[in-house]
Amino acid sequence: MIIRAKSPLRIGLAGGGTDVSPYCDLYGGCVLNACITMYAYATIEPRNDSKIELISADRNEYQLLDSATELQLDDSMQLLKGVYNRVIKDFVKKPLSFTLTTYVDAPPGSGLGSSSTLVVAILKAFQEWQNLPLSEYDLAQLAWDIERNDLKMLGGKQDQYATAFGGFNFIEFTGSNVLVNPLRIRQEYINELEFNIILYYTGISRLSSEIIQAQVDNTKNKNVFAVNAMHKLKEQSFEMKEALLKGELNRIGTILDESWKNKKNMSSIISNPIIDNIYESALKAGASGGKISGAGGGGFFMFYCPKNSRYNVIKKLSEFGGEFRRFRFTDLGAESWIIK
């Protein structure tokens, strides 16, 4: 028997950063994101030799461990171990023996929510195998709890909910409460978005925790400049929602451009001269706006290229040595199935 699960990565269209505590606890946060056809995968193969085999195929990591009710959380494959520990603690109550293989279509630190998406995919595989009683909200909340509390990883709340639900979502954060509002966007608008949006991987790795910690500190210290920037990012999530629902797609590039300017005001390490050069070059080539996906500092850039400007933008950005990723939007969230 083989148990498989996959969970989609997401691009953040507006409001990113307002889902991070303590900002969302103090002021309430709103984000708008959309899932795309790039995935995190998890495969479980049950064993009967009292061993746990962990394989991270994309990162070339491997461990063979004795089965136990709790695995030691060292610096290797923490996400895999953290999920297992919580599944045993909350549901199964006894050791399991299996091989767990994972793979993510985007590199770590890409800004597409890869870590959280992988946690949800692993949880979904365990849910399928052990018949765990988890709704989409339960799945997302448990994934968030594992990352933020069990593993002490810094980050926001949007990624877990985006990948659990799939589609275009306007997500509101008020204290500990999270409300996912799926958006019904006309298919012709989605088709145009897929044509006009370019997803460009800069090849620059970044440590999101450092950037997020700076945002957290700015909020705690009541840095007026940074907090006001987050207020504006939240407002722009409402503007983006209106533009998408009404089909006012010519507004999207402008909203992204304003969002990027405000995002850079949240922390001095969100951008750098290389990133700024890439951005300005894309605008000169015809893009109407764009932003780094995720915390910033590197990873994937998203550019909105109206009319037929995508070709000129692609040609110009090719000079920087990054790579382009084709994608489509998907309405499907985390999925699992069994092969017998």
Residues catalogued as catalytic: 159
CB 119 within 8 A of CB 79: yes
- Whole-angstrom distance, CA of residue 332 vs CA of residue 155: 24
Q: How many CB atoms lie within 10 A of CB 340?
A: 4
Tokens representing residue 139 in the block: 């799945």
Residues in the chain: 340
Among residues 168, 127, 115, which one has the least CA distance to residue 294? 115
Locus of tokens 């998890």: 42
Q: What is the DSSP letter of 35?
A: E
The maximal CA–CA distance of the chain, rounded, in angstroms, is: 61
- Whole-angstrom distance, CA of residue 95 vs CA of residue 43: 18
Tokens representing residue 148 in the block: 């933020």
Q: Which helix (H) or strand (E) holds 320?
A: none
Q: Which helix (H) or strand (E) holds 119?
A: helix 114-130
CB 192 within 8 A of CB 249: yes
177-182 and 51-56 strand pairing: unpaired
State phi, psi for 204 to the nearest 5 degrees.
-95, 120
